[in-house]
Amino acid sequence: MSVLQTDLSIEDWSPEAGELLEFRPDAHAIAAAAAAPASDVPPSVLTRAHITRCIELRRAGRRPSPGLVLTFRLPGRLDRTALREAFRAFILRHETFRSWFAPAADNELIRHEYRSEDVAFTTVERGTFDCGDAIRAELLPDFIERSDALAWPGFVCATIDHGDRGFTVIFSVDHAHSDALSMGPAFLELRTLYTAYQQGNEPPSLTDVGSFVEFARTEHEYTGNVGPQAERVCEFVSALRSAAAEFRPVPVDLGLEHGQTAPSGQVQLALFDDTESDLFSERCAAHGGNFSSGLYAALALTELELVGYHHFTALSVYGLRNEPQYLMAQGWFVNLLPVSFEVGHKAQFSELVGTARAACDSIKPLARVPLHGVLEHARVSGPVPTPSEWRQISYADTRQILRALRLENEVSVSIMGSRNQLSGLTPFWFTRDLDHTFVAVRFPDTSAARESVTELLTHLRTVLRTIVDTGDYTATNTDDASAVADEEPNA
């Protein structure tokens, strides 16, 4: 049976035992990459923020997150040469994987790009292991230390040979070069390349993968606030300022003092099965909304009931892969868009879902204006909370991707992150797959935070399931929370 898992942590990964092999660029390629000239294309805005944060954490003696790890299990005997060449072709096809960054003056980052096709990969035998925990212990330091955007290669390519039982393909890369939604295309591309080499064929001409480097070049036209994009930047700044004026923190007790961190924990709740997901979508559409705006409205009703927030503000994690050239690209193609709408002292879902949709739709034309790149423009006229202080909401409908991946019997795919130290909440990740819809959030794993997050998400699930069962939801018991609602916004 085919399986896709997206909720694992690297620290919990326990693959089947077998022989561990790694595929590394040879010494010539590594030396040439180290001497690669500087590029005139800066990192993307999110990449720059990520790398800068990693540098700050290292200076403070803390471990940055090791990025993303993709693993997938394939049936059949391993063809080592075919997989080595598949990894080589995969890396060469994506400019971002051939890039590394060097810190410069004024907190700038300089991209260096290795542009030669003269890259050979070597096979390194790492040993045979009799349990998955031993393989994880062997690889975890590599995931942490070598998935690094400040060096090349910033990735790890490996496999576990299980003999007649198949093999597990492993790819780890720093978040500066990729994101979770890139891992689906990565699986499809690696599997296709491997099959071609295994059969002795030339790699097929896959869909144009697009360029994250060119995406970064285009993005910086917006951050300069000049030329034809200046008007859009001004509109975005105005929307951000308006949302910040109504900002209130996520109603979760983290159990931490200011500046403290704790190892991350996660709560994940199933919300609907596939049939219920379709019904929720119908409920939303009947009142002028859609699936994602229904989630926003339900969360707004939850906060109204729990703490009396009469206005909802959030940063929407908005995917930018809707342009065809980026469908198969590797990169971090997202932006954060301010979403803000009035809830009132009493509210019904049937009235609010259309309002939420209008708020989401109104900001979408400005999606290519990078929030991190225009924060200073917004702060000229007053304080704006940092992105990490806002509630962030991500909704991913992965059904099309899953169908495109064509997962076959005996094929399993995992996309993993790390339980790193946290001082606040990650985004609320809402995901709809072929079988169900669920929500997950990571947080500093204190007892107070776990209890508070669980209460919030459990109440949210009650709201959502009532909408599915009855067609509507009316927020009640708001008077008990009026003291919170009457506080001044934190902006």
Give a yes or no: residue 124 inside a domain. Answer: yes
Together in a domain, 76 and 196: yes
Which residue range(s) make up the domain with 428?
248-399+420-485
Q: Distances in Å between the alpha carbon of 71 and those of 100, 283, 315, 405?
A: 23, 37, 30, 14
Expressed in percent and rounded to 5, the helix, strand and coil fractions of the chain are 45, 25, 30
Q: Are 244 and 378 in contact (CB under 8 A)?
A: yes
Residue 132 has a CB neighbour count (10 Å cut-off) of 16
Q: Distances in Å between the alpha carbon of 41 and those of 30, 44, 48, 154, 325?
A: 21, 9, 12, 18, 19
Residue 415 to residue 294: CA distance in whole angstroms: 27
Regions of the chain with pLDDT less than 70: 1-8, 66, 206-208, 224-229, 405-411, 477-491
Query: What CATH number is given to the structural domain containing 27?
Result: 3.30.559.10
End position of a domain, from candidates 153, 176, 206: 206
Q: Distances in Å between the alpha carbon of 469 and those of 113, 282, 292, 376, 466?
A: 55, 12, 18, 46, 5
For 469, residues 6+ apart whose C-beta sits below 8 A from its C-beta are none
Give a yes or no: residue 216 inside a domain. Answer: no
End position of a domain, from candidates 206, 232, 262: 206
Residue matched to tokens 């503000």: 313
Domain count across the chain: 2
Give a yes or no: residue 222 inside a domain. Answer: no
End position of a domain, from candidates 206, 233, 258: 206
Together in a domain, 43 and 177: yes
User: Quick one: pLDDT at residue 381?
Assistant: 74
Q: Which two tokens stand for residue 364?
A: 């979408």
Alpha-helix runs per DSSP H in 272-421: 274-286, 291-307, 349-363, 371-379, 399-405
Q: Are 348 and 474 in contact (CB under 8 A)?
A: yes
User: Quick one: pLDDT at residue 240?
Assistant: 92
For 439, residues 6+ apart whose C-beta sits below 8 A from its C-beta are 268, 269, 271, 428, 429, 430, 431, 457, 460, 461
Together in a domain, 274 and 169: no
Residue 428 to residue 311: CA distance in whole angstroms: 18
Together in a domain, 387 and 300: yes
Helix/strand/coil for 271: strand
User: Quick one: pLDDT at residue 2?
Assistant: 40
Paired sense of beta strands 334-342 and 99-103, if any = unpaired
User: Quick one: pLDDT at residue 437?
Assistant: 96
For residue 419, the Cα-to-chain-centroid distance in whole angstroms is 14
Q: Which two tokens stand for residue 145?
A: 């230390």
Residue matched to tokens 């005139």: 40
Q: Are 68 and 417 in contact (CB under 8 A)?
A: yes
User: Quick one: pLDDT at residue 477?
Assistant: 59
For residue 207, the Cα-to-chain-centroid distance in whole angstroms is 23
User: Quick one: pLDDT at residue 485?
Assistant: 52
Give a yes or no: residue 230 inside a domain. Answer: no
State the pTM of this model.
0.89
Together in a domain, 321 and 185: no
Residue 215 has a CB neighbour count (10 Å cut-off) of 21
Nearest one of 18, 239, 193, 2 to 92, comparing CA atoms: 193
Query: What CATH number is given to the structural domain containing 252?
Result: 3.30.559.30
Residue 71 to residue 79: CA distance in whole angstroms: 17
**Degrees, nearest 5: CA angle 89-92-96:** 135
For 79, residues 6+ apart whose C-beta sits below 8 A from its C-beta are 194, 197, 198
Nearest one of 292, 346, 281 to 314, comparing CA atoms: 292
Helix/strand/coil for 436: strand
Dmax of the chain from CA atoms? 71
Together in a domain, 178 and 301: no
User: Quick one: pLDDT at residue 409?
Assistant: 53
